[in-house]
Structures are given as C-alpha cells and as structure tokens.
Structure 1
Amino acid sequence: MENLSNYFGQNIKDKRIVITGGTTGIGKAIADLLISLGGRVLTFGRDKEDFNHAFTDIKTKFPDCDLYGFPADITNKEDVKLILEEIDKKLGGIDILINNAALSAEGVTKGNLEDWQYILETNIMGYLTFSKEAVDRMTAQKSGHIINIGSMSAESRKPESTIYVATKTALRGFSTSLRKEINPLGIKVSLVEPGAVTSDMQPDSKASQQKKIEKLEMLEAEDIAMSVLFCLSQPKRCDIVTMQVRPHLQLI
C-alpha cells in the first residue's frame, strides 16, 4: 500500500467541499480535518456567534486556508439562495458535500407541531435540498461524493426521541435510494451513523460528557471526522456505503 499520508489526502487536496452545519461539533471537526489536508471549504451554521468562533479558530490554525461561508439557516430559502451563490462564486462547484446540519428532538408527548416542522425542515429538507444542488453541480463533471451524517437513533429508536428517530430513519432510506439513483452518474453516496458523540445536542453537561468519553460510553467529534475521511479516501472503484460508529461500551 502507498504511503498512508498520501492515501488519506489523495481525494481532499484542492477539492471543493461544502459542509452544512460546520461550525460546531461533528461539522466543525470535519472542517478542521479536511482543511488541514488542503481542502477548499465552504461552511455555514445558523448561530452567528458559533460561526464567528469557528471561523476564527480555523483561520488561526490554518492562516492560508481557503475557507468561505457566513451565518445561514438551512430552513431559510433566502439564506440557502445566498449560500448557493457563494458556492458558485467562491468554489465554482462542489466535489464533496457533507450533509451535517441537524437538530435534536424529543417525542410526540412533548413539543408541538410548529417545533416539529422546523426540525423536519432542518433534518430532512436540508439534506434533500443540498443533495439536489450538489448533484446538479456534480453531474456535469461525472464525479462527486455526498456524505450524509445520520445517527444510530435510526436503529436504537429510543422512546424519548421519537421525532429525531423519524428524521434519521428517513435519512437512512433516502441515502440508500439516492446512491442507487446517482451512482450511474459517477457520484458516490455514503451514510455515516454515529452513536453517542460529544456535542451541544447532548443533554448532559460538558463535564458529564467528558466522563462518558473516559468510560468509553461516548465518542469525540474527531472520531466521526476520521470516519468521514476514511469514506472519502477510497479509490473510485470502492464505495463505503454505510458506516456505523459506536462508543465501545454503548450497547445498541
């Protein structure tokens, strides 16, 4: 096998990469990793403070990197339009799409229809919208890779997060069908389903999450970033279709 540093960077350097929800947690970890390997990244998130913190942090670590984006809400049509214009202007297309922007949600006995609508717009329509836009741009070049960040909730189906389970189960079906639809166009699709990962979506405090990491009951965001990199690093002949990544002691 060739040098591993070349292997993991071969499909990243100078690639045009879009990461939805790339300002915190898994998305931010993926942005850090792909930028470190020379990727040209455009990312966004709905929280202005999180976005500014992420941008400053990345620019500090990688001063010469190609990093673009601005605060935007994936459910807002005008925001999406502006992001797409920025993609075409700054990147000139998309080689890699990381669909990551998502929100947590509880069960049907809590919340209300208005809250659920926003969750569905984010967790499902956001993925569909950017997949469609990516495919439109990838088809002409007959290449590309879409990675959907799902969740093991689609399998564990815990009763306290029924709405979230519904969205991640939908994403599992969408990813399977999407691959069959666009593989003939030369476009790859991978679904990465993490188990428990430290993030702002977790109900536990940061200190509690750290204890779970130490007890092998929770993953770091960087673990999922490395899993995404593995999917992206495969030669053209090889697809990682679905990857499930769980903490060692999380039994599902």
Structure 2
Amino acid sequence: MENLSDYFGRNIDQKRIVITGGTTGIGKATAELLASLGGHVFIFGRDKDDFDKAMDDIKLQAEGQVYGVTADITKKEDIHMVWQEIDTKLGGIDILINNAALPADGVIDEQYENIQYVLDTNILGYIYFTKEAVTRMKNQQRGHIVNIGSLSAETRNGTDTIYVASKSAIRGFSAALRKEINQFGIKVSLIEPGSVTSDMQPDPKEEQKEKIKKMEMLKAIDIAMNILFCLSQPKRCDIISVQVRPHLQSI
C-alpha cells in the first residue's frame, strides 16, 4: 500500500487552486489545508478584514504560494479583475472550489433585493466561475471542479426557502456539468454538508461550539478533509457526490 501522505498530497502539490469565498468557514479551512500540502492557492471574499486575517492565517502553514484579492462575486467587474489576477499570479487553474454562498430565509420574509443578491452569489457566482475555469481547463485537458452544496437541497426546510432553492440548483448544475465537461478530462464533485460552524449560522459562536461537542454540528475542517479526499483520487476515479452530516443532526 502506498504512503498515505503521498496519496493525499499527490494531486495538490504545485497545483493552481482557486477558492471562492475563501476567507471564512469552509473556504478558509480548505485553503489552509491545501496550501499546507504545497498547493498554490488563490482566495477572495468581499470583506476586507476577513480577507486580511485569512491571508495571514493561511500563510502561516503554507508550503505553496498564497494569493488573493478582495472582491464581490456578484459584480461583473470584480469577476473580470479576479480572473486577471488568477491568470497573472497562477498562470492558469487546475482546481476550482466553488464555495462562496450566503444564507437566506423564506420568500415571505426576504426582500426582493436580498433574494436577487443571494441568488446572484449562490447560483450565478458558481456558474460564472465555472465557465471561466472550464475555458482554461479545456485547453489543458484536465482539471477538477468541486461545488459546495448543502443537504438543504434534500431536507428542504420551509424556513429558508431561498437558500434551499439555490442549493437545489447547485445539485442539478453539478450533475449536468459533469456530463458536459468530463470528455475534456475535467472532474466534477459535489459536496453537500449538513450543519457546519460558520458566520452563516444564526447561532452565536459559543452555541456553535456546544453543538460541535454534542455532535450536532460539524467543523469547517471536516468538510475541507472531504474536499481533499475527492481531489486525491486517481485519474480513473471520480467522486461524484458526498453528503456529510453531524452524527446527531436530525436530517
């Protein structure tokens, strides 16, 4: 049997990795993990303070290069700027992790402007970044796209209808995308977490810590490890979808 450290690092070392929403939560934990394995990681997020802190934290344990900018995935000019930076700093892309997303309530309580902003972030952001990534990956006949969905697409809680709609869209998008682009050597994986500690959660941080102790909530690193597992497979093997829930979350 091969060395496990080689197994998990072989598809990460020296790879050019872009993580949307990489400044907090799952995105940041994934950036820290992949950079520690020698990946050249590019992150961005819309909050300058979160971005600055994330860059400092990721660089502390990075074996690869770490780059990033502050940007809003809903703005066309920001998307254009981000990809210019990616092409300049990384010289292309091998792995895209679509992670940037926002929470939302039901249709009754949400305002039109917020619904539009959430859908622009949670759906169009994934699609726009995938389109740009595929354009580059197609030319090199290899690549891997990981979409972070949610078990909300399955549980369909009536209190967060807009969020459910967005994550249901990502489930369908991922399935169809794989059929469209696997002929170019590009893999597509969908990861659907249950409850994960993050700034998106309505509970205060202390309550989230208690839920983790009770096995009712996951840590961001738990999802990062699942992303690593998907990325570590040999070329012949595709992990199409993974569902991860806290042991005692009732879903």
TM bracket, shorter-chain basis = over 0.9
Q: Distance in 2 between matches of 1:12 and 1:59?
A: 16
Could you tell me which residue of structure 1 aligns to residue 122 of structure 2?
123
Q: Distance in 2 between matches of 1:121 and 1:97?
A: 18
The alpha carbon displacement at 1:65 in A equals 3.6
Q: Which amino acid aligns with 1:153?
A: S
Q: Distance in 2 between matches of 1:141 and 1:61?
A: 30
Where structure 1 has 5 or more consecutive residues not aligned to the other structure, the ranges are none
1:183 to 2:182 alignment: yes
Contact 2:14/2:64 (<8 A) preserved: no
Q: Which amino acid aligns with 1:13?
A: D
Q: Which amino acid aligns with 2:43?
A: T
TM-score (norm 1): 0.98
Q: Distance in 1 between matches of 2:23 and 2:64?
A: 16
Q: Which amino acid aligns with 1:34?
A: L
Could you tell me which residue of structure 1 aligns to residue 11 of structure 2?
11
Aligned Cα RMSD in Å? 0.8
Equivalent residues in 2 for 1:44-63, closer than 5 Å: 44-62=44-62
The alpha carbon displacement at 1:56 in A equals 1.2
Q: Deviations over 1:35-65 (max 9, x none)?
A: 0000001110000000001011122333x64
Q: Deviations over 1:170-228 (max 9, x none)?
A: 00000000000000110000000000000000000111001100001000000000000
Q: Distance in 1 between matches of 2:53 and 2:211?
A: 26
Q: Which amino acid aligns with 1:234?
A: Q
Equivalent residues in 2 for 1:1-252, closer than 5 Å: 1-62=1-62, 65-252=64-251
Number of equivalenced pairs: 251
Q: Distance in 2 between matches of 1:231 and 1:15?
A: 15
Q: Distance in 2 between matches of 1:112 and 1:211?
A: 32
Q: Distance in 2 between matches of 1:118 and 1:42?
A: 24
TM-score (norm 2): 0.99
Q: Distance in 2 between matches of 1:86 and 1:98?
A: 17
The alpha carbon displacement at 1:251 in A equals 2.1
The alpha carbon displacement at 1:113 in A equals 1.0
Q: Deviations over 1:100-134 (max 9, x none)?
A: 00000000110211110000100000000010001
Contact 2:35/2:61 (<8 A) preserved: no
